[in-house]
Amino acid sequence: MPPKSRSRNKRNKHTKHKNKNKNKNKNKHRNRPRPNPKKSTRSNRSHNHKKKAIIDFSKLNHETLLDLKQHYQITQEIEDKEELAAVIYEKFMKQTVNEEKVLKTFLLISKEM
């Protein structure tokens, strides 16, 4: 291979240096401190809370409520529909992480509608 011309060598050195600086700046930008996800800001509010479906359990009919009671293995004897709905709602809110149970709940509710 023929030796590179001297001017070209100088030029490459210069660009190498320029690129080094460019990369430094890129990294500065990349490593900026991220906002604290626990603090609720307008931009990350949607990521902070998982959207929980709000269901009015008191509007469901009694059979569905009894099915849900059995599904959540609630042993207390509750006659009042509103109280039963409240207990089921609490159980529902506690286990929203468990996808399978949520799906089953929705299936039970959708059967009624």
Residue-range domain boundaries for the chain: 52-112
Q: What is the pLDDT of residue 84?
A: 80
Q: pTM for this structure? A: 0.39
**Other beta carbons less than 10 A from residue 64's beta carbon:** 19
Q: What is the pLDDT of residue 52?
A: 52
Distance CA 3, CA 101 (A): 73
Q: In the chain, which stretches have pLDDT less than 70?
A: 1-6, 11, 14, 29, 31-56, 95-103, 107, 109-113
**Other beta carbons less than 10 A from residue 65's beta carbon:** 20
